[in-house]
Structure 1
Amino acid sequence: MCAASLLLLLLPLVSAQTYHWGPCPTPKVQPNFKLQQYLGRWYEIEKLPASFEKGKCIEANYDLRGDGTIQVLNTQFYKGRVNYAEGTAVVPDLREPARLGVSFSAFAPYGAYWVLTTDYTSLSVVYSCTNVLNIFHVDYAWILSRSRFPPPESVAFAKELLEKENIELCRMKATDQTGCPDL
């Protein structure tokens, strides 16, 4: 199959995503990242569109497994029920522990999960990007908080950081965290 045909087949898959021409940017990540402090529950506050996240009350829980991998348990409330997605995260290079890889299928490669900044207790900014045939890239960004309703200045700080790293935010949208069931 020629590259042009493959590209046309892939475009509908990324229509709910944020994509741009050219290669992925390489933003700076959290220096001296401490995985143990990062573990636990994070609520999604804002995100770039992701086809796998359509609900509300989205949260992610990270827990260290006995084999050294990280259990990732994402939950969302969608169409009247709670949906779960369990994955595995790894630290491919211990010299850069804030550049994690995450996969939600034994058959899928690990995708980027880069912690750009975190204070571990209230805010985290995460970025992911996938090159497609080195023609364009699909990127994701999440602003996470330990609280469903962080202060507006924290969200503004996170957006400023993403913009400084040349990550386009025009499609970023807030995640509804109101009326959430206990997940």
Structure 2
Amino acid sequence: MEKYIVLATILAVFVLNSAWARIKRPEDKTKCPVVKAIRNFDLQQMLGEWYVIEYYASSEEAIYYKCMRADFSMPALETINMNFTYSFTDDPFNEQLFGNITWIIPNPAEPAHWTHSEDTYEGVYNTYVLDSDYTSWALLLHCAEKSKVPRYLSSFIMSREPDLGVNVKSYLRDKLPRYDIDLTYMFDMSQDDCNSTIPEDLPPGVFLNRPQVVNRRHPMKHQH
């Protein structure tokens, strides 16, 4: 009887270890995660102006941006355009910078999935609308792939207003870890003091040591 008990124990341990190995199998970090975009998505209701409330990028361990806002439009059928503005947090002048990104809808039956492959963005860039109520909040996931290098993940929690309730933010944040997003680096995006200013009483050294914003990448672009 003892022999059978030992064999059964060994078999159970083997099965458990095999199951754990399958669970812990490392992901292919060069590929975007499998994403389920929002169903029954109404793209027309998504258009218009949004504030970025929280921001994540897999290549960043600090928040470099503030006052990020996005304006979605459809310049043509199955084409989405986003104009966005932002500032760098360390810019004493708080200069408002501008960016633009254009996607296409590869499958009209899935209007919450957008792609583009412009050279500026260094590879295929997928964007998914994970969830939205259109009138108050929305959650976007971006994933860029380039051959033989790590993928680039970023995400926006957005609001029609400059702030968003804690419960709503928690609800949206909970959707992200399944896509390999580390919430430790999901940063609040300040929407305060967003007007460009050049204070008259700044010492000359501030002008000389000011970061050259034209040489810095914008928040929708990644570098390998």
Question: Is there any run of 5+ residues in structure 1 with no aligned partner, and where?
Answer: 1-19
1:97 and 1:26 map into 2 onto residues whose CA distance is 16
Question: Is there any run of 5+ residues in structure 2 with no aligned partner, and where?
Answer: 1-27, 197-224
- The structure that is strand-richer by fraction is 1
SS of the residue 1:21 aligns to: coil
Contact 1:90 1:101 in 2 (8 A): yes
How far did 1:161 drift?
1.4
What TM-score do you get using the length of structure 2 for normalisation?
0.63
How far did 1:28 drift?
1.5
Residue 156 (structure 1) aligned to one of 167, 170, 176: 170
- The structure that is helix-richer by fraction is 2
RMSD: 2.7
Aligned residue runs from structure 1 range 92-107, under 5 A: 92-102=106-116
Query: Aligned residue for 2:143?
Result: 129
Contact 1:87 1:105 in 2 (8 A): no
Number of corresponding residues: 162
What TM-score do you get using the length of structure 1 for normalisation?
0.76
Q: Judging changes above 3 Å, is the alpha-carbon distance between structure 1 residues 36 and 83 closer, same or farther for their aligned structure 2 residues?
A: same
SS of the residue 1:154 aligns to: helix
1:67 and 1:31 map into 2 onto residues whose CA distance is 20
Query: Aligned residue for 1:8?
Result: none
Q: Does 1:29 align with 2:37?
A: yes
Q: Does 1:167 align with 2:177?
A: no
Q: Does 1:47 align with 2:61?
A: no
The sequence identity of aligned pairs, in percent, is 26
Query: Aligned residue for 1:14?
Result: none
2:36 and 2:43 map into 1 onto residues whose CA distance is 17
Instruction: Look up the equivalent residue of 1:63 and give its one-letter code.
Output: S
1:21 and 1:68 map into 2 onto residues whose CA distance is 29
Q: Judging changes above 3 Å, is the alpha-carbon distance between structure 1 residues 115 and 95 closer, same or farther for their aligned structure 2 residues?
A: same
